Chain A
């Protein structure tokens, strides 16, 4: 279908722009990544792959990653699915508050959680271990967070919301009638759950499992904080260590490709599963959802939710606040120990933190602003089918979702440390990394926004005499405003917490908050870490609040 006047010139401009952006953001870096992974001194070689595959330590890292991802996936289902069911379908107390707290763990940067758990359950000074020793008089630590189970535990705490979202959104679409229809035919409660409810949420469950696995595969911060001291690597930390002097870029490239392929494959599987999810929604509209009475299980269920929230929110946030306000974080918070020195140190005395805050805010605002503008333009073009091949634009805008942050960073590092564009060492390379990484989230949000504005609203103005640009200003922009603000916020939140790409691309002059937090750990500056962490959390929650006000719903996207 062609639209309006013959639009060759207009399509050309859009396509040239999109193509250029695409080359800069994806094709060039990924091309270099592949090229370097097979380049030897004499032409093409598979030596790097061979080296990677034959190295016992690297194979161990792969194995560790698989173990981590698998258990995080299972753990996320074990926590996320019951929590979603409890808050969506039962009369468990304080459902709204629990939802809000799940949202809080969703937006908490996982590496902050990992830090907090170091302070809580480190084998020597960890608060919980000290309490355990105090109570029992034992010498041994109760918990050792520097271990594979510890790592799985902490990663799961901040990954289960992905499963929660999938399940809660699906449950919200299943009308109670569907279950009651089975009850009236004689099915017991258990039979209803097994034959009706479970099959309908199964695609969401599997899909949530895959999302959780993907998160665990791509995660850098938590493994770096918890696995390295425990003496083991994951793929991401291994890739990072290739950049220690002397850098082995080719090895990093060769080690990145399998991770990239695994991610792409898993997402493909997930899309397949979700693509058939439609039936969960059939007849769901308008159907009523009645809360199931838990009876005597009501309070035990609530206690279970409370334990999860304690582990992911209350305890970590508490210890961060305590560390921020005390001279020695491991000591009790007495008047003597109380101080604001950590704040003045972080904001005014320690040069690196001050610069990092400024850099992070600059990058956050720049990426969010340019990114929101870009995704709004792309989504407008694709939803209104303004150019031929608009489907391709949509696909490409979502494509970066398959690139783990560390892999993206390796690719950008390779591409932009050499002519024609030497961007390494500037904020620009971080900007490109963030823009690429956050594009899919922003695009998905913008796409939903423009889909929500019926084209007739624009047509109605056209036929009354307004040109396309005029309509964009008078009708489309005002209606899309809140959705675009939300896209801005999503991108901004993503940028300020970004660690896995930043950790490879930063230079001393271009540190960002997450990187500085990571550095401070080496120096043992837990007070400053806590202060920076709180700043990050305050920024995040303020932005989330803006999203909620703009969209009139919470960012988990569950309709009430």
Chain B
């Protein structure tokens, strides 16, 4: 089972660079999510990998085969890949069985009985046994989705490409299918590129996430890494909600934001440089203004501006004293509730204050 290596890929539409000098390594058997907002070039990247587009520069390797370069592109049909489309792209004039069987026509060494067995088996895996004579138009959205999955997996591709496959499903089904896709990946362990704009989906499904911004990979890492240690302002804001504070480094591990001083994670800052700090809303603890500071934590005071009960959590907006900073704070419901106008103490571990590269890369 080969991996995928994307090296310095660039693709422009007119003056607009959809993908710019993008590099990414996908290990054999790994599932990597390409995560980013619309227009970040993730679908273009996927279509380049599939061979539907010719790159302007850069190369795409699968194992030891160079599949795409500006000079030559192996056509999609000879790449031994499979793809699941956002629209599912099921052929409306073919039955479920015919849709699933289609890719097998181009694989040698299989007789009719083998094929039939494989199709039946695959439909059983995606829980569509008995639906083989239906037409796609007669199926629900979730069932169509499963047919698309079956059609892609039945050919045992070397590489599986998924382009926002869950975005047409309703919320409940979407959550269910996330686990389903993860389960199938663990069963088949096919090297997979998964395009999505939904961070929760990327976190549940993937081994690693590659965050894309304006045609470039700005950070790769596990869900924990990109959430816990975002490298840029863009990553911090795109993955989960966060408080972003702009300040200036005053020591290797301290940032001044107006009159406030925050100790931050890591260290190694150059005093005098501009720095942004990201603090996740749930990393801030609420207490009494008179609480003694715990060692290593930043302690602030503030006034509750707004408190919203959200069922499984409480969402606060808190104006920090002696500054014009307003922090978003989320607490579990068990914590004593505060009302608007109350003065509260805030504690943030230095480790939860993540410094970001000032400009988005």
Identity of the chain B residue whose Cβ is nearest the Cβ of A458 in the assembled complex: B89
Cα separation A464 to B103 with both chains bound (whole Å): 5
Q: Which residues of B contact A466 (CB under 8 A)?
A: 77, 102, 105-106
The complex places the Cα of A460 from the Cα of B76 at a distance, in Å, of 10
- The answer to the question of B313 belonging to the interface, with a C-beta cut-off of 8 Å to chain A, is no
B89 touches A462 (CB 8 A): no
A465 to B158, CA, bound (A): 13
B83 at interface, CB cutoff 8 A:
yes
Task: Report if A463-B53 is in contact (Cβ < 8 Å); known contacts: A4-B75, A457-B89.
Answer: no
> Cβ of A463 and Cβ of B81 under 8 Å apart?
yes
| Minimum C-beta distance from A7 to chain B (A) | 10
B91 touches A459 (CB 8 A): no
Q: Judge whether A456 is part of the interface by a CB distance below 8 angstroms.
A: yes
The answer to whether B75 and A467 have CB atoms under 8 Å apart is yes
Q: From A2, which residue of chain B is reached at the shortest CB distance?
A: B54
Q: Is A5 an interface position by the 8 A CB rule? A: yes
Is residue A56 contacting chain B, with contact meaning CB distance below 8 A? no
Does A1 belong to the interface (CB within 8 Å)? yes
Cα distance A465–B107 in the bound complex, in angstroms = 8
- Kindly state the interface size class of chain A when it binds its partner: 20 to 34
Contact B92–A464 (Cβ < 8 Å): no
Contact call A475/B52, Cβ cutoff below 8 A? no
Whether B161 and A463, one on each chain, are in contact in the complex, defined by CB atoms closer than 8 angstroms, is yes
Min distance, Cβ A4 to any Cβ of chain B, angstroms: 5
CB 8 Å contact bits of A472-500 with B (1 = contact, 0 = none)? 00110011000000000000000000000
Contact of A459 among B50, B73, B78, B90 (CB under 8 A): B50
Which of A6, A454, A462 is the one whose CB lies under 8 Å from B77? A462
Report the separation of the CA atoms of residues A6 and B68 in the bound assembly, to the nearest whole angstrom: 12
| A3 on the B face (CB < 8 A) | yes
A203-233 interface bits toward B, Cβ cutoff 8 Å, 1 = contact, 0 = none: 0000000000000000000000000000000
Task: Flag whether B72 is at the interface (Cβ < 8 A).
Answer: yes
Contact of A5 among B13, B73, B161 (CB under 8 A): B73
Q: How far is the CA of A474 from the CA of B77 in the complex (A)?
A: 14
Whose C-beta in chain A lies nearest to the C-beta of B161? A463
Interface string of B70-96 (1 = CB under 8 A from A): 001101111101110111011111000
Q: Does A123 reach chain B (CB closer than 8 Å)?
A: no
Determine whether the beta carbon of B102 is less than 8 Å from that of A461: yes
Identify the closest chain A residue to B78 (Cβ).
A465
Complex CA–CA separation, A5 to B83 (angstroms): 20
A5 and B51 alpha carbons, distance in the complex (Å): 9
Interface residues of B in 227-257 (CB under 8 A from A): none
B346 contacts the other chain (Cβ, under 8 Å)? no
Q: How far is the CB of A473 from chain B (nearest CB, A)?
A: 12
Q: A457-B91, A459-B89 are in contact. Are A464 and B54 (CB under 8 A)?
A: no
Chain B hits for A462, CB < 8 A: 52, 75-77
Which residues of chain B are near A463, meaning CB under 8 Å? Answer: 50-51, 76-77, 79, 81-83, 161
**Chain A residues whose C-beta falls within 8 Å of the C-beta of B102 in the assembled complex:** 461, 464, 466, 474
Q: Determine how close the nearest CB of chain B comes to the CB of A452; give it in whole angstroms.
A: 11
Specify which chain A residues have a CB less than 8 angstroms from the CB of B161 in the assembled complex: 463
Given contacts A466-B106, A474-B102, contact A3 B83 (CB under 8 A): no
Kindly provide the distance from the CB of A2 to the nearest chain B CB, expressed in whole angstroms: 5
- CB of B99 to closest CB in A, whole Å: 9
Chain B residues whose C-beta falls within 8 Å of the C-beta of A456 in the assembled complex: 85-87, 89
- Pick the contact of B106 from A6, A460, A465 — CB < 8 Å? A465
A467 and B91 in contact, given A2-B54, A459-B52 (Cβ under 8 angstroms): no
Cβ contacts under 8 Å, B106 to chain A? 464-466
Contacts of A460 in B (CB 8 A): 83, 85, 89-91, 151
Q: How far, in angstroms, from A466 to B105 measured CA to CA in the complex?
A: 9
Asked if B217 CB lies within 8 Å of chain A CBs, one says: no
Whether B151 pairs with A464 at a CB distance below 8 angstroms is yes
Neighbour of A479 across the interface among B81, B85, B92, B155, CB < 8 A? B92
Q: Are B92 and A459 in contact (CB under 8 A)?
A: no
Give the shortest distance, in Å, between B107 (CB) and chain A (any CB): 7
CB nearest to A459 among chain B residues: B52
Report whether A454 and B89 are in contact in the complex, using a CB–CB cutoff of 8 Å: yes
Shortest beta-carbon distance from A550 to chain B in Å = 14
* CB within 8 Å for A5 and B72 given contacts A463-B77, A464-B155, A479-B92: yes
B89 touches A465 (CB 8 A): no
A454 contact set on B, CB distance < 8 A? 87, 89
Of A1, A457, A462, A463, most B-chain CB atoms within 10 Å:
A463
Q: How far is the CB of A389 from chain B (nearest CB, A)?
A: 15
Query: Considering the complex, which residues of chain A in the window 1-31 have a beta carbon less than 8 Å from any beta carbon of chain B?
Result: 1-6
A133–B79 Cα distance when bound, in Å, is: 84
**How many Å lie between the Cα of A270 and that of B318 in the bound state?**
59
Can you list, as one digit per residue, whether each of B136-164 has a CB less than 8 Å from chain A (1) or not (0)?
Answer: 00000000000000011001000001000
Q: Are A459 and B85 in contact (CB under 8 A)?
A: yes
Chain A residues near B103 (CB-CB < 8 A): 464-465
**A465 contacts B155, C-beta separation under 8 Å:** yes
A residues 440-473 in Cβ contact with B at 8 Å: 454, 456-457, 459-467
Provide the bound-state CA to CA distance between A457 and B13, in Å: 23
- Please give, as numbers and ranges, the residues of chain B lying within 8 Å of A459 by CB-CB distance: 50, 52, 76, 83, 85, 89
Residues of the A chain whose Cβ atoms lie less than 8 Å from the Cβ of B86: 456
Q: Given A463-B83, A465-B155, are A3 and B52 neighbors across the interface (CB < 8 Å)?
A: yes
**A475–B136 Cα gap in the complex (Å)?**
14
Name the residue on B nearest A474 (C-beta): B102
CB atoms of A479 and B93 under 8 A apart: yes
Residues of B close to A475: CB separation below 8 A: 91
Q: Smallest Cβ distance from A456 to chain B, in angstroms?
A: 4
Per the bound structure, the CA–CA distance linking A6 and B90 in Å amounts to 28
- Nearest CB of chain A from residue B235's CB, rounded to whole Å: 30
Across the interface, which residues of B come within 8 angstroms of A467, CB to CB? 75, 77
> Chain A's nearest CB lies how many Å from the CB of B94?
9
Given A464-B103, A465-B106, also A478-B93 (CB < 8 A): yes
The proximity string for A residues 348-365 relative to B, scoring 1 for CB distances below 8 Å and 0 otherwise, is 000000000000000000
Complex Cα spacing A478 to B93, Å:
7
Least CB distance from A355 to B in Å reads 42
Contact residues, B160-180 vs A (CB, 8 A): 161
Top 7 A-B pairs, shortest CB-CB distance: A465-B106, A464-B103, A456-B89, A460-B89, A462-B76, A463-B83, A456-B85
B residues bordering A, Cβ < 8 Å? 13, 50-54, 72-73, 75-79, 81-83, 85-87, 89-93, 102-103, 105-107, 151-152, 155, 161
A–B complex contacts, Cβ < 8 Å, 26 sampled: A1-B13, A1-B53, A3-B52, A4-B75, A4-B76, A5-B72, A5-B75, A454-B87, A456-B85, A456-B86, A459-B52, A459-B76, A459-B85, A460-B83, A460-B89, A463-B50, A463-B51, A463-B79, A463-B81, A464-B82, A464-B151, A464-B152, A465-B78, A465-B105, A466-B105, A467-B77
A residues touching B (Cβ–Cβ < 8 Å)? 1-6, 454, 456-457, 459-467, 474-475, 478-479
What 19 new A-B contacts, CB under 8 Å, besides A454-B87, A460-B151, A462-B77?
A: A1-B13, A2-B54, A4-B51, A4-B73, A454-B89, A457-B91, A459-B76, A460-B85, A460-B89, A460-B90, A463-B79, A463-B81, A464-B102, A464-B152, A465-B106, A465-B107, A467-B77, A479-B91, A479-B92
